Chain A
């Protein structure tokens, strides 16, 4: 495509577009530029300059492979199950859905029953789905993905932006312009890197319709994690988490859990890199 010839591969997180890309943004730092659409795995290796001579590149490759493949062998590498219990979900009112009349039929498998006209979400399923979602988030953070938090619920704008700041990732809680993903190369220039994971704390926008970014992420092959209430459509979301999205207790719980998962992922990455660097040093000492 000739796009890779254009810009020299920039270091991860360096050039971040702070400009007022979308109306009313000041804390939403969107995209840094490396290459278009999804980041190929090959480019990740180019990002960190190798200090060794080309002859030991083979060793370097296998080290990188080991870093990336090691966590996938364990069912719960980041111990995400220890982050919460079902009792925590109950106390945060995660099981409370909307009234019977305004449900989305696609939420049927996740609903336990109706108590006096209010749908109750099955917490067994929520626990399972939430563990899955947190595990995926941690793995993506481990792989240095750009993670974008999206929510259009104005009550929690500040909370979500702070959550994103605290874990060093990105948030978009303002008006969503039409072609942010689908028209990215024209709106933001050629060498644009889109987020590799999107976390929807609220799936609906201000007029109770599905957020445009859900469909756009599916179009651009970006995996999504989302909290789906009984009035939401969970179909296009890769890792849906059925739960209440209106109570402040519940939303604070979700923000805390995702932040902790991301920080765990990043911490493990640093650990693994140090470990592998040590092993490489020991090997070179043995060889020499």
Chain B
């Protein structure tokens, strides 16, 4: 049974079709898939090398993303989300809905005021959100850590170099 193993040139269909045309494969002995492929060809011919006019892939962003960003900056994730429950609405989504409601009313002009108002409105509905603690700065922590160590006990601050110095000094003073 003849075939063509040149997968880099043309598609399986073009190769088999041309072999039939050339008389190498007899039409009666064509492969099983030939008729089906001819009737229902794929959307794009399966060529090994293809050119794409690649433009930057669009970023998927929504207007509510601004609200989401502000929400997560202030509150972090209130509690773990149950992904298996398709019907549940997350706290963030409820926040967004309330925010958009208040925005439509038009009472508040500034974003901060609108944000605070939404938080209060949700509190009234029964959803309590705790603001997350701001992260500590690095220099403050190192100083406080050393102070903590000294407080706990002088034993934690012993250094081997100091011990050796003391040992060397003692015989010097004892020798007459």
Bin chain B's interface residue count: 35 or more
Q: How distant is B36 from chain A, measured CB to nearest CB, in Å?
A: 4
Do residues B49 and A140 form an inter-chain contact, with CB atoms below 8 A? no
A238 to B41, CA, bound (A): 9
Q: Contact between A218 and B31 (Cβ–Cβ < 8 Å)?
A: no
Total A residues in contact with B, Cβ cutoff 8 Å: 52
- Report whether B60 and A196 are in contact in the complex, using a CB–CB cutoff of 8 Å: no
Contact status B3-A41, CB under 8 Å: no
From B4-12, B92-100, B113-121, B127-135, the one touching the partner chain is B4-12
Tell me what chain B mostly uses at the interface: helix, strand, loop, or mixed.
loop
Instruction: Indicate if the CB atoms of A196 and B7 lie closer than 8 Å.
Output: no
Q: Which residues of B contact A129 (CB under 8 A)?
A: 43
**Which residue of the partner chain, among A114, A132, A145, contacts B42 with CB atoms under 8 Å?**
A132
Q: Is the CB of A223 within 8 A of B33?
A: yes
B170 within 8 A of A: no
Residues of the B chain whose Cβ atoms lie less than 8 Å from the Cβ of A238: 11-12, 37, 42, 46
The A interface, classified by DSSP as helix, strand, loop or mixed, is mixed
Residues B31 and A235 in contact, CB atoms below 8 Å apart:
no
- In the complex, chain A residues whose CB is within 8 Å of the CB of B143: none
Q: Mark B35-76, 1 if CB is under 8 A from A, else 0.
A: 111011011101111101010011110000000000000000
A219, B5: Cβ atoms under 8 Å?
yes
Report if A38-B7 is in contact (Cβ < 8 Å); known contacts: A111-B57, A119-B57, A128-B43. Answer: no
In contact, A196 and B36 (Cβ under 8 angstroms): no
| Residue positions of B touching A, CB distance < 8 A | 1, 3-7, 11-12, 15-16, 26, 28-33, 35-37, 39-40, 42-44, 46-50, 52, 54, 57-60, 86
Residues of A whose CB lies within 8 Å of any CB of B are 1, 3, 35-42, 44, 68-69, 72, 91, 100, 105-106, 108-109, 111-115, 119-120, 128-129, 132, 135-136, 139-140, 143, 145, 182, 196-197, 215, 218-223, 235-240
